[in-house]
Amino acid sequence: MYNNSTAVYRPDIQAFLMQGGDVEKKFIAQEIFPVHNVKKRSGQYARIKIGEGSLLRKDSTKRNATGSYNEVTRKHSWDNFLLEDRGLKERIDDDKAAEIEDFFDLEVITARLVKRAMLLDLEVQAATTLMDPEVFLNEDATVSYTEANKDTADFPADVLYAFEKLNQRGVDANYIVMSNTLWRYIRRTKQLNDYIFGATNTVKRLIKAKDVAEAFSEETGASITVKIASSAYDKSNRAKDAPDIVPIWGNSAIWIGKVAGGDFEAGGVGRTLSWTQAVKSGLFETETWRDEDRRGDMVRVRSYSNEKVIDETAGQIINTLYN
């Protein structure tokens, strides 16, 4: 058995608790919009769209009577990005730090919580961007996702239709993103149960996300990830102590599409662009300094970034009509 003769039992430290300790594990923004470092705060880049670039247009390839081949023309367009300076800071009062030093390092905890607030803001941006029907093509579910329609709502048919529309646009979809509330509803629907386990199956089984991922992966020949978004935030007034916790990811839409990282050539729905002149690597930079005038240390976490949809054709939305 391990024994450390210099260790001192500290029940006072064991008594420390911070609520919401697993919040960071629930954030998915950087998974859907992978971080991509850029050297400029703003920029312009060329893109070729399906229509104006004739990417899927059938042209006659038969040599004509004059002896020449048909000539095609192709257009490109421009898109741009503009990154934003974002950050939060918090003061660590000397008296407060001394009072609580037996429990934890207040500077470390403060830096973590300020970064959490930055991640929370990023998550809200991601949810708003990804589920925007003004950005992505969308279709209503074949049957509204309501409790009354639990036996007829056809999630498999809706997803397969979305896969087909994406496939027609030349997109190999690999992600299905939905809220935790929608997932709890969908996994109880009869149509999904029949799709996963067979219509003649009489044994009740709890459908798991990996069951759905495996079924659609086999159907499409792609490796599908089913992402259940369960993060939430407190929308109450800061002046009030009572929290008002609401989900970040809404229940009106399910997003199907391609997620990829790296250079834009790899495709995918988008990136979280980060300016290397302001943040040397990654997405966040943590800084501290002394504020002698107020007898405390300051902690700041900042980023110079933005979430950018680089290909709106890489996603399809199912309007669930959930209630």
| List of domains in the chain | 34-53+73-319 (3.90.1690.10)
Q: Tell me the three-class secondary structure of 150-210, residue by residue.
A: CCCCCHHHHHHHHHHHHHHCCCCCCEEEEEHHHHHHHCCCHHHHHHHHCCCCCCCCCCCHH
Using one digit for the tens of pLDDT, what is the confidence trace for 219-228?
A: 989 999 999 9
Instruction: Output the pTM of the full model.
Output: 0.85
H or E element at residue 120? helix 106-130
pLDDT of residue 7: 41
Low pLDDT (below 70) residues in the chain: 1-21, 53-56, 100-104, 202-204
* Residue 40 near residue 12 (C-beta atoms within 8 A): no
pLDDT of residue 6: 47
- Residue 170 Ramachandran class (φ > 0 left, ψ -120 to 50 alpha, else beta): left
* Residue 27 near residue 307 (C-beta atoms within 8 A): no
pLDDT of residue 119: 94
Using one digit for the tens of pLDDT, what is the confidence trace for 192-244?
A: 999 999 877 766 678 999 999 999 999 989 999 999 999 999 888 877 778 88
Cα torsion 270, 272, 277, 278 to 10°: value is 160
pLDDT of residue 176: 98
pLDDT of residue 54: 64
Residue 245 structure tokens: 């916790």
Buried b (16+ CB within 10 A) or exposed e, 15-47: eeeeeeeebeebbbbbebbbbbbbeebeeeeee
Q: What is the DSSP letter of 148?
A: G
* Residue 88 near residue 300 (C-beta atoms within 8 A): yes
pLDDT of residue 112: 86
* Residue 248 near residue 124 (C-beta atoms within 8 A): yes
pLDDT of residue 3: 47
Instruction: Kindly list the distances between the CA atom of residue 207 and the CA atoms of 158, 179, 219, 300, 312, in Å, as whole numbers in the listed order.
Output: 18, 16, 17, 43, 31
d(CA 96, CA 112): 17
> What mean pLDDT value characterizes the chain?
88
d(CA 170, CA 313): 9
Q: Give the 3-state secondary structure of residue 213.
A: helix
pLDDT of residue 5: 52
